[in-house]
Chains A and B, each alone.
Chain A
Amino acid sequence: MTLALMDRKADFPILTRTINGHRLTYLDSAATSQKPRSVIAAMNRFYEETNANVLRSVHTLAEESTEAFHRARVSTAEFIGAAGSEEVVFTRGTTESLNMVARGWGDKFLKPGDEVVVSPMEHHSNLIPWQRLCQRTGARLRFIELNDDGSLAMDHARAVINERTRLAALSRISNVLGTINPIREIADLVHTVGGIMVVDGAQSVPHEPTAVAELGADFLAFSGHKMCGPTGIGVLWGRAELLDASDPVDFGGEMISYVNRESATWADLPHKFEAGTPNIAGAIGLAAAIEYLNEVGMANIAQHGRQLGETAYQRLSQLPGVAVFGPPSPRAALVAFNIDKIHPHDVAQVFDSRGVAIRAGHHCCQPLMHWLHAAATARASFYLYNQPDDIDALVDAVEATKRYFTI
């Protein structure tokens, strides 16, 4: 197999670790990615040379820090094709971003009888904020059902989306099924009836080129830590007019314009959504991650990930006693699977004894687990630093697990 990317493991210090006497085979990037040396160095450099609070003082460090923070916002905006950096709100991650839309836009505009559309494959972070929003406003939560292979049932989508639909919230890539959802088609349906399209990009922004206009998104949420950046930094992108119309959800310093004893007015975008001292080092780490990803090339990363995901799916599906979930192709850089009669936690434990790190559990997708009739699954997920020998280690670990539990 010729892959889109050469071996990049040397860029990631942690991948030289041995675990239980074996080379680390890291197959849990859908949970969090590893960090290249350049990202770690950029954050260290910030703390060693530049650290100061932003958007306040006039001393040199503060000016440099503010400038670096702003540049991070500009490169994030460019990375997703935003119309301007004021459309990029820094958050703690995808979860906070989605909650911000639900409270800032949803609470303001939803009325009883309105409808919010999601799917059963959503991560809890793209489900519970909408459940709560509907409970608060009297709106109705509706689901686009799935085809047997885990893809969105588009006929059903056309039936569910109607003139009462105010908002649809869907993941571009499922963190369990590996499906790549046709967001553009859904967005067109939603826009025709005057609703807005919220995209959970937690699994897609790290793995494919993103252009918010082409995607048809009105809001896009994603996390830095799944795309080679640090934890604790994420993004809410929104069309400027929608962000302007939304209410801030946190209040305090930096998000205000004028404050008197009784009331206050808000700062301009994006600051009205960023109360308090922001995660400055996190934003700088995210910018370094974006620089790294651009250097590797997002188109290459997407092709590489699909090659690995599809190959792993194929090889696992050929093993006796192994069930794989979701469509074979096209598929993103992950595969969820189960071994007959062996609980995924036991699977992950045997894998770990061989240095192979995978995820086991419900993947924050309990409704999807019900749909799959599985209490839990194992999941191997890949990123730009994985190579075919990692799939070999995965297959070997499956065989070893079967031998250990003698099935």
Chain B
Amino acid sequence: MNLDDLYRETILDHNQSPRNQGHLEHPSKTVGLLNPTCGDQIQLELLVAGGQVADIRFNGHGCSISMASASMLTEAVKGHSVEHALRIAQSFKKFLMGESSPVDLGDLAMLKGVSQFPSRVKCATLAHNALEKGLAEG
């Protein structure tokens, strides 16, 4: 086991300088999710218009993996269609189970090492589950 497989530089960078962190003035949808085993909390604020994720912010607290993953996810879905955003969230979860992704995951691909640390998969997928929940609820 190599710690550096988990904590890639890009991940530490997203953790230290998170993208799209904070609040939207007029979100069309706010969704919160809790990881009860460790207490990590995430809230996504979405502005969905014309079938597009026009804007997105996240806030909450958690480990570097969950926060970096949230930051990366917001970058990957912002400006894309709802359908594409859902595909990213779903593909990412399969990607962590060892499957290749049919869509470009961007920086999220840097989280590949998480699959070697089963107890951290929940951290990496928290924001993705929140996004799915938010978009599924319409």
* Chain A residues engaging chain B, CB cutoff 8 angstroms: 20, 342-346, 349-350, 353, 360-362, 366, 369, 375-376, 404-405
7 contacts between A and B (CB under 8 A): A345-B38, A345-B123, A349-B3, A361-B38, A361-B39, A366-B39, A375-B41
Q: By the criterion CB–CB under 8 Å, are A350 and B3 in contact?
A: yes
Minimum CB distance partner of A406 in chain B: B12
Complex CA gap A405/B1 in Å reads 18
Q: By the criterion CB–CB under 8 Å, are B6 and A349 in contact?
A: yes
Complex CA gap A360/B62 in Å reads 12
A369/B39 contact (C-beta < 8 A), A349-B117, A350-B3, A405-B12 known: yes
Minimum CB distance partner of A345 in chain B: B63
Q: By the criterion CB–CB under 8 Å, are B37 and A346 in contact?
A: no
Given contacts A345-B62, A350-B3, 16 further A-B contacts (CB under 8 A): A342-B64, A343-B62, A343-B63, A343-B67, A344-B63, A345-B63, A345-B65, A346-B63, A349-B3, A349-B6, A349-B120, A353-B3, A361-B37, A369-B39, A375-B39, A375-B62
Is B61 on the interface with A (CB-CB < 8 A)? yes
- Enumerate B15-67 residues with CB–CB distance to A below 8 Å: 37-41, 61-65, 67
Q: How far is the CB of A351 from chain B (nearest CB, A)?
A: 10
- In this complex, how many residues of chain B approach chain A with their Cβ under 8 Å: the count is 19
Q: What are the nearest 3 A-B pairs in CB distance?
A: A345-B63, A343-B63, A362-B39
Complex CA gap A361/B67 in Å reads 16
A404/B3 contact (C-beta < 8 A), A345-B123, A349-B120, A361-B39 known: yes
Minimum CB distance partner of B64 in chain A: A346
Complex CA gap A361/B1 in Å reads 22
Give the chain B neighbours of A366 by CB distance below 8 A: 39
Give the chain B neighbours of A353 by CB distance below 8 A: 1, 3
Give the chain A neighbours of B1 by CB distance below 8 A: 20, 353
- Enumerate B82-123 residues with CB–CB distance to A below 8 Å: 117, 120, 123
Q: By the criterion CB–CB under 8 Å, are A404 and B7 in contact?
A: yes
Q: Most chain-A CB neighbours within 10 Å: which of B1, B37, B63, B120?
A: B63
Q: How far is the CB of B127 from chain A (nearest CB, A)?
A: 15
Complex CA gap A185/B13 in Å reads 52
Give the chain A neighbours of B40 by CB distance below 8 A: 375
Minimum CB distance partner of A363 in chain B: B39
Give the chain A neighbours of B65 by CB distance below 8 A: 345-346
Q: How far is the CB of B10 from chain A (nearest CB, A)?
A: 15
Give the chain B neighbours of A360 by CB distance below 8 A: 38
Complex CA gap A332/B41 in Å reads 31
Give the chain A neighbours of B117 by CB distance below 8 A: 349
Complex CA gap A344/B66 in Å reads 13
Complex CA gap A376/B63 in Å reads 10
Complex CA gap A168/B94 in Å reads 49
Complex CA gap A342/B62 in Å reads 10
Complex CA gap A376/B7 in Å reads 20
Residue in A20, A350, A376, A404 whose beta carbon sits within 8 Å of that of B39 in the complex: A376
Q: How far is the CB of B15 from chain A (nearest CB, A)?
A: 9
Q: How far is the CB of A345 from chain B (nearest CB, A)?
A: 4
